[in-house]
Chain A
């Protein structure tokens, strides 16, 4: 047993985080929780990018730059998502994803 931090450990952490986020995004009813789960998945990908920036075969700063861009896009996504949710709540009086079925009826 080697007690040392290596790349597969970080990948494993990121994989577990991604799976938890995926499960939450698939099963939860509250739309805000679905947004939170998507953030969790994005964070898992960020861990992977930074881990490869240090331990990858061609270690460079590109992974960290990509992480910064991912964060920016995630912030924009959350802002627009919350705005859509508030507008939807004002019109339909619900935040549950399975009640947002206007286009199905």
Chain B
């Protein structure tokens, strides 16, 4: 019985990930939920490092733990300061949701367990060296058009968010 360092890191990170998510569901104050989800996002970045995706991990920390958490906090502060989530709205809906989620979990778990996963050939490991450079080459050669479309999407989202959230001064 030998426990490798990778497995130890994986165990700690996955525990933090799932713990953060479960605490997010069980907390009642919305601000606590956002903080707990920040822990989840950070540990997911750690999992990405374990998967040799360093650039994606850094982007995860910047975008999710940084930007999206802060944006959510702004949303909370601009709507209800001490908002509490009373949880399930109707008694029936909670049980139905649990049932739907449980059925989905069982089906997907069975799918994962019954599929024979074939290990990749060994030369694949050499591809992953110098992650950021390779990622940049991939994005700017094979994925140029989706990249440009993404920039257009970001511009549209920026303008749309400003217009939606702007105060209407002279309506009616």
**Which residues of A does B touch, CB under 8 Å?**
1, 3-13, 15-24, 26-30, 32-33, 35-37, 39-40, 43, 46-47, 50-51, 53-62, 64-65, 67-69, 71-80, 82-87, 89-90, 95-96, 98
Contact = CB atoms under 8 A, between A and B. Distances in A.
B120 A68 contact: no
A79 B113 CA distance: 37
A59 B127 contact: yes
Interface of B: 1-4, 6-7, 10, 14, 17-18, 21-22, 24-25, 30, 33-34, 37, 40-41, 44, 47-48, 50-53, 55-56, 59-60, 63-64, 67-68, 71-72, 74-76, 78-80, 83, 85-89, 93-94, 97-98, 100-101, 104-105, 108-109, 112-113, 117-120, 124, 127-128, 131, 134-135, 138-139, 142-143, 146, 150, 153-154, 156-158, 160-162, 164-165, 167
A36 B89 contact: no
Contact of A19 (B52, B104, B119, B131): B104
B68 A29 contact: no
Given A47-B47, A89-B79, A72 B10 contact: no
